[in-house]
């Protein structure tokens, strides 16, 4: 076992943080010993291993096999804590947890078995980190017999920081969705209030119409006596006043109806924007989700298989992130800045090389978008506008292409 396997979490942290001079790892040949078992590792690694390498469904299945009646109903937080406790007990469920992790990440464990030194393990870990294939590589590297304590610290630190980055991204998306939900709720309330007011005005208009007709009927009733009919001057004044009031109500009703139509259009736009944001969030979650080892085809894990994507416009500092994302999935990204420095005449040749053209509508010139559409239609190449120049909007378009046959 590596040096850290002989110490529990507090003792290990005390030695490493204080730089204890007597802590000298014994020399062990990796070829002479098997992979470490989870109960042999330092306790402070169990939490990250369970949280990164095991799904909630697999964790609940382990508790069910151990006879826990509440395995299907226990909260996710308590579920995580129970499995972390089991990880340190060889005969209390640790063996079952070890078998589950080995079976889930069998392919990565076999790939790491080709490494015989800590440097070779580190190189394989870096490749998996760049590809975003974290869970299986983390389990295979941490339990590898050649892994020493400095390498464990580096790998643990990188996974720890990745969890922070993913949490920040999810929190930002959740805040944005909640803000949109609140805004939509306020729009719904405003529209409902407008509708209620319009209905009240319509009822008032109908009442005025009835009163007006009654007055007109009263004016035209013939006299049944020889007495001279009274003057109709008062009735005419009243009729004029009611007619003016009805005309004012009609005008106000027209104004409110126009406002209601505008609110309905704004609501439809907000719903469309929310749908786009939810799609981008789903694309982010799909990109962060690592497929199981039973996946028979690399395409199911989001591989682009040599596809070429043309990205027109956007921000140059963001294009590097887009290129890393595409190349990590086996694709290639061509870029044209939309006419700032690159000549628009170059677009025709770039479209001819690409399998798909993408441009952010919020960060590209009108002229460049028109040229791109014309060239794509002439060469029968698909093109997609995206909502913004962000990586999430780009992934929302590209991930379905990666999963397509």
Instruction: Please name the residue that has the structure tokens 């992979």.
Output: 35
Cα separation, 318 vs 117, whole angstroms? 37
Q: What phi and psi values does residue 321 have, to the nearest 5 degrees?
A: -65, -40
Residues of the chain with pLDDT under 50: 1-24, 223-226, 228, 289-301
CATH topology of domain 302-402: Rossmann fold (3.40.50)
pTM comes to: 0.39
End-to-end CA distance of the chain: 45
The answer to whether 276 and 396 are in contact (CB under 8 A) is yes
| Best CA proximity match to 52, nearest among 80, 92, 90 | 80
* pLDDT score of 404: 64
Measured in whole angstroms, the distance separating CA 334 from the mean position of its chain's CA atoms is 25
| Alpha-carbon radius of gyration of the chain | 35
Counting Cβ atoms within 10 Å, is residue 325 exposed (0-12), middle (13-18) or buried (19+)? buried
Counting Cβ atoms within 10 Å, is residue 160 exposed (0-12), middle (13-18) or buried (19+)? exposed
* pLDDT score of 358: 94
* pLDDT score of 26: 52
How is residue 235 written in tokens? Answer: 């009735």
Q: Longest C-alpha distance within the chain, in Å?
A: 132
How is residue 51 written in tokens? Answer: 């949280």
The single-letter DSSP state of residue 370 is H
* Residues ≥6 apart with Cβ < 8 Å to 376: 351, 357, 382, 383
The residues spanned by each domain of the chain are 31-147, 302-402
| Best CA proximity match to 378, nearest among 405, 347, 402, 339 | 347
Counting Cβ atoms within 10 Å, is residue 196 exposed (0-12), middle (13-18) or buried (19+)? exposed
* pLDDT score of 222: 56
Cα separation, 58 vs 44, whole angstroms? 21
How is residue 42 written in tokens? Answer: 């330092």
């Amino acid at each position: 076992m590596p040096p850290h396997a002989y110490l529990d979490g507090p003792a290990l942290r005390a030695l490493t943080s204080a730089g204890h001079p007597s802590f000298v790892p014994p020399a062990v040949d990796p070829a002479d010993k098997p992979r470490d078992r989870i109960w042999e590792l330092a306790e402070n690694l169990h939490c990250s291993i369970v949280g990164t390498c095991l799904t909630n469904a697999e964790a609940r299945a382990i508790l069910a096999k151990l006879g826990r009646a509440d395995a299907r109903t226990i909260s996710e937080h308590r579920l995580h804590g129970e499995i972390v406790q089991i990880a340190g007990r060889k005969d209390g469920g640790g063996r079952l947890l070890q078998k589950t992790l080995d079976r889930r990440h069998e392919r990565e464990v076999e790939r790491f078995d080709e490494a015989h030194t800590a440097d070779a393990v580190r190189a394989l870990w870096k490749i998996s980190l760049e590809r975003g294939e974290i869970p299986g590589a983390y389990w295979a590297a941490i339990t590898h017999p050649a892994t020493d304590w400095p390498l464990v610290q580096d790998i643990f630190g990188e996974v720890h920081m990745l969890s922070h980055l993913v949490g920040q991204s999810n929190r930002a998306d959740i805040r944005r969705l909640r803000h949109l939900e609140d805004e939509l709720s306020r729009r719904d309330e405003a529209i409902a209030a407008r509708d209620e007011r319009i209905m009240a005005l319509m009822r008032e208009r109908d009442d005025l119409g009835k009163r007006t007709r009654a007055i007109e009927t009263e004016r035209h009733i013939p006299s049944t006596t020889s007495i001279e009919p009274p003057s109709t001057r008062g009735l005419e004044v009243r009729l004029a006043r009611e007619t003016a009031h009805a005309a004012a109500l009609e005008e106000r009703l027209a104004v409110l109806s126009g406002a209601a139509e505008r609110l309905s259009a704004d609501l439809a736009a907000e719903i469309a924007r929310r749908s786009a944001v939810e799609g981008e969030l789903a694309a982010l979650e799909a990109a962060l989700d690592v497929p199981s080892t039973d996946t028979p085809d690399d395409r199911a894990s989001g591989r682009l298989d040599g596809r070429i994507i043309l990205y027109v416009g956007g921000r140059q500092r963001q294009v590097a992130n887009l290129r890393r994302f595409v190349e990590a999935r086996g694709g290639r990204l061509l870029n044209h800045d939309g006419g700032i420095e690159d000549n628009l005449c170059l677009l025709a040749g770039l479209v001819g090389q690409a399998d798909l053209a993408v441009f952010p509508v919020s960060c590209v010139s009108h002229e460049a978008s028109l040229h791109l559409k014309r060239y794509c239609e002439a060469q029968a190449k698909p093109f997609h506008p995206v909502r913004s120049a962000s990586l999430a909007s780009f992934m929302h378009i590209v991930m379905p292409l990666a999963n397509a046959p």
